[in-house]
């Protein structure tokens, strides 16, 4: 869950904070800048042409196991959410046998990949980031806009800026780990801490709402030497497959990342039944993550290692207002957080707590701004809200609206003093355990890699902070190495002489 507290205190902090140790400090990479989508830009013209190309093509997408394309014949279609007559991809679903073959392929690739020097693995994923932000910048935008009904602005944040940042920052944090932790050394002994990839395969189960999440779940564990089975969401198949093809073009070896379109249950049942399961990297619903966790628990005796379960499940995020809050800031941040990408973000604002003394003004301005929101196709660059991803999501939203209509306690509509940040400190203390991310005077959405590592606490997830060094640590297995460099000339201890 992500909580945002809005007050009247605005304090700007500038500068760079570095943790200094015995080793030299390497600067963090810069965040990827946005695409130029101004009305007269060449990028926008190319984007419009690429979208039209997608309209005229329904790409056939296979399973890819060990570099081999597998067309199973059990197919489904990805539709544009805002145009249900537009088929943009035909994908082949993996059977149990295909998933088992992918496990075998991953395990066959594991030894060489884990022993590949980090510098070589990093160079490959640096190339992935460069291809996404260069050669495939416009195609990435187009498939994400059409396939997930994202506006150009929302798509650019996702499938260009954030996904590139995940790889570049992941590489940076992995190299920091490789530099090692300074351990106490004693006479005649060399102590080291080394990091290995996990012993087994990682299953990456990605959601529909962010192309970048799929790329991160499948790619970041591979940077530090893991092999991966990637099950993308069926409603984001086109964008996920483009990312996978970029992996291939950049030089990710066959079998290191296997592309497995599948039903959730089939994939979950097969991977949790394998003794080689080393970790599950998941973003999705609480119910699905609980199901996966139960399956792992049922099979705990068969595994070679204890699998690591990394989950991001979203949350009921809220904005919490103090009486000192600036009303324009409150309303504009809430509109952006609640309606950006139609509210289909893990961090989207779904609740707002307003002091009674401020409610009349907040309500009035919310209704006014709500009327201004333009709903339509993401291909129209004035659109703020487009279609939700599929019929299931539509029905889920409608159920909430119907519940509100039928409730006597609810209606549908279109405090105190503080001392130099005292309220912020008090609120932060009270809400300390309630959220994985806590923002002050800002909207709840929009975390940036390397700036606000993202992860939900409580039932929102395992709070592993994607886009941080903490996240990288979850995908390595530390090994403490002691090397004695002087001979031991007696079995007796000194006091026994």
Catalytic residue numbers read 312
Residue 241 CB-density burial (10 A; 0-12 exposed, 13-18 middle, 19+ buried): buried
Nearest to 228 by CA among 91, 86, 125: 125
Name the percent of the chain in helix, strand, coil, to the closest 5: 45, 20, 40
Cα(18)–Cα(176) distance, integer angstroms: 13
List the Cα angle 153/353/398 in 5-degree steps: 60
Query: Assign residue 314 a region: left if phi > 0, alpha if psi is -120 to 50, beta otherwise?
Result: left
CB neighbour list of residue 184: distance below 8 Å, 6 or more residues apart: 191
How many residues are there in the chain?
497
Q: Phi and psi dihedrals of 91, rounded to 5?
A: -115, 150
Cα(33)–Cα(27) distance, integer angstroms: 17
Both structure tokens of 201: 């395969």
Q: Greatest CA separation found in the chain?
A: 89
- Listing DSSP states for 232-281 in one string gives --GGGHHHHHHHHHHHHHHTPPTTTEEE----HHHHHHHHHT-TTEEEEE
The DSSP element (H or E) to which 393 belongs, if any, is helix 391-406
């Amino acid at each position: 869950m992500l909580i945002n507290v809005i007050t009247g205190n605005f304090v700007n902090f500038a500068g760079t904070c570095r943790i200094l140790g015995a080793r030299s400090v390497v600067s963090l990479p810069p965040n990827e800048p946005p695409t130029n989508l101004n009305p007269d830009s060449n990028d926008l013209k190319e984007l419009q042409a690429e979208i039209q190309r997608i309209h005229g093509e329904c790409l056939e997408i296979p399973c890819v196991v060990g570099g081999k394309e597998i067309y199973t014949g059990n197919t489904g279609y990805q539709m544009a959410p805002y145009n249900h007559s537009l088929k943009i991809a035909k994908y082949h679903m993996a059977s149990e046998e295909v998933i088992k073959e992918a496990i075998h392929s991953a395990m066959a690739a594991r030894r060489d990949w884990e022993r590949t020097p980090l510098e070589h693995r990093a160079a490959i994923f640096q190339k992935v980031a460069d291809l996404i932000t260069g050669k495939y910048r416009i195609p990435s935008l187009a498939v994400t806009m059409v396939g997930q009904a994202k506006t150009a602005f929302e798509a650019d944040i996702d499938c260009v800026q954030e996904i590139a940042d995940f790889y570049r920052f992941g590489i940076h944090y992995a190299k920091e780990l490789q530099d090692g932790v300074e351990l106490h050394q004693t006479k005649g002994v060399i102590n080291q801490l080394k990091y290995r990839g996990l012993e087994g395969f990682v299953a990456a189960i990605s959601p529909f709402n962010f192309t970048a999440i799929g790329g991160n779940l499948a790619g970041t564990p591979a940077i530090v030497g893991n092999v991966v089975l990637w099950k993308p969401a069926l409603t984001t198949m086109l964008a996920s497959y483009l990312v996978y093809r970029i992996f291939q073009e950049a030089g990710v070896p066959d079998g290191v990342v296997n592309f497995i379109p599948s039903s959730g249950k089939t994939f979950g049942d097969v991977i949790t039944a394998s003794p080689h399961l080393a970790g599950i990297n998941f973003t999705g619903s609480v119910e699905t993550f609980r199901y996966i966790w139960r399956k792992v628990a049922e099979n705990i005796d068969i595994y070679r290692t204890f699998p690591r379960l990394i989950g991001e499940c979203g949350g009921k995020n809220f904005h919490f207002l103090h009486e000192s809050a600036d009303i324009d800031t409150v309303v504009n941040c809430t509109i952006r957080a609640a309606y950006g990408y139609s509210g289909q973000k893990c961090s989207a604002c779904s609740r707002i707590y307003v002091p009674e003394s401020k409610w009349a003004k907040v309500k009035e301005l919310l209704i006014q701004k709500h009327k201004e929101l333009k709903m339509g196709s993401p291909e129209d660059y004035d659109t703020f809200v487009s279609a939700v991803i599929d019929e299931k999501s539509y029905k889920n939203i409608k159920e909430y609206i119907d519940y509100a209509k039928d409730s006597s306690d609810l209606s549908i509509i279109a405090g105190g003093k503080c001392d130099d940040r005292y309220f912020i400190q008090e609120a932060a203390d009270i809400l300390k355990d309630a959220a994985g991310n806590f923002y002050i005077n800002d909207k709840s959405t929009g975390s940036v890699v390397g700036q606000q590592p993202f992860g939900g606490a409580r039932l929102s997830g395992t709070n592993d902070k994607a886009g941080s060094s903490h996240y990288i640590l979850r995908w390595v297995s530390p090994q403490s190495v002691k090397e004695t460099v002087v001979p031991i000339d007696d079995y007796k201890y000194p006091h026994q002489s």
